Amino acid sequence: MKLIMLGAPGAGKGTQGEILSKKLGIPTISTGNILRAAVSEGTPVGRKAKAFMDAGKLVPDDVILGIVEERLAKPDCAGGYILDGVPRTIAQAEFLENDGVKFDAVLSFEISDAEIEKRMTGRRTCLKCGATYHVVNNPPRTEGVCDKCGGELIQRDDDSVETVRHRLEVYHVQTEPLKGFYEARGILKMVENQPTIEATTKVVLEVLGM
């Protein structure tokens, strides 16, 4: 199965991607996590991406497409994958389509901007493996420590209120048009916001017919 997860920053893509990945036995590919690892390792891609990410802007398409092409060529993607945070522009979607990739479904996580702002302030992210938590909705067993790998949990630099507002603007202008793109292809599935992570998973499985 090949899936795309579309949605505003903080809509729950990473959280649901992790759950679905375990359930379906296929990897989740998060361009955000790949970029953050590149930034912390100081690679050429990371050095190029950092200023865009800190400002809440999209990283240029050529950088993203290079990352995605390399990742999709790895053997663990042979049985399918879940894309988290990519495509994010029409150009990225057209690139995947022209490359012959056929998606089974595009999950669009629907949530208001006001709700996003509330969620982001409580989010904590693992520096080492990228897993996400929420101080109230999904706390780790030990404060500040990742349940999965023991890494340090931090608040992301781009989760400040001002940067989140800018990321939301970027989402509405550059990424939201992808809904029309995939609706025209008959594979868009709406996932309305739910008060808990478990309730969202239930809706995701329902819209996927699972």
Residues at the site binding ligand AP5, with contacts judged by CB under 6 A: 7, 9-15, 30-32, 35, 52-53, 56-59, 64, 85-86, 88, 92, 119, 122-123, 132-134, 137-138, 158, 167, 194-197, 200
> Measured at CB, which residue is nearest to ligand AP5?
32
CB nearer to ligand AP5: pick between 104 and 110: 110
Smallest Cα–Cα separation from 71: which of 58, 57, 85, 81? 81
- Residue 198: count of CB within 10 angstroms of its CB: 10
Alpha carbon distance 97, 183 (integer Å): 14
77 is in an annotated binding site: no
Alpha carbon distance 21, 75 (integer Å): 16
Active-site positions read: 13, 88, 123, 156, 167
Minimum CB distance to ligand AP5, residue 172 (Å): 13
- Contact between 124 and 155 under an 8 Å Cβ cutoff? The reply is yes
Alpha carbon distance 102, 46 (integer Å): 29
Minimum CB distance to ligand AP5, residue 48 (Å): 11
Alpha carbon distance 13, 108 (integer Å): 9
Minimum CB distance to ligand AP5, residue 154 (Å): 12
Residue list, annotated binding site for AMP: 31, 36, 57-59, 92, 156, 167
Residue list, annotated binding site: 10-15, 31, 36, 57-59, 92, 123, 126, 129, 132-133, 146, 149, 156, 167, 195
